[in-house]
A and B are shown apart, each in its own frame.
Chain A
């Protein structure tokens, strides 16, 4: 079964510092990978998807098949980036999302 691991439950950085949220997946094939974000009192929303190769709100994520990782990065964190971040994968044509447990990012002023 596919598994998504986010090793950090909590991550705290200062404003302007770089941030990296780690995500590893277990599937050896070619999964679709996503980062979802949940801001305080808001619903879960898609931040970015690896296949689109976009940069959303300054965040990027690169798929590393060798390390089976999909880490989320931002060079200069902002206070409004404080939120819960979930990494998720979809394998094959089953279209069901498998989520990690999430990382709570706090950006301090």
Chain B
């Protein structure tokens, strides 16, 4: 079946521009996560959505970062006024529910490069 889909796969933009990254989770998965993976480093949690509950935004590094999830499905991560330190791979994951016992399914990520 279809996995987690992310678009675009690569994005190059100039410093100061806004970018939107999209994630289509696996159908029926109620939990959706965004992570950032910088070169040579592990995964940094950004934000988490679970059903209709308020999202857990505790990992967002600054107020330039925001995310929404429409209709409990597709999610968009927006970075405003991009900085060079925002360059990274942004990974989205989904899982059936949030008790944590089920593994997260990851997309292939969006590689963001800020010039």
Q: Is A bound to B?
A: no
Q: Footprint of A on B, CB under 8 Å? A: none
Q: Footprint of B on A, CB under 8 Å? A: none
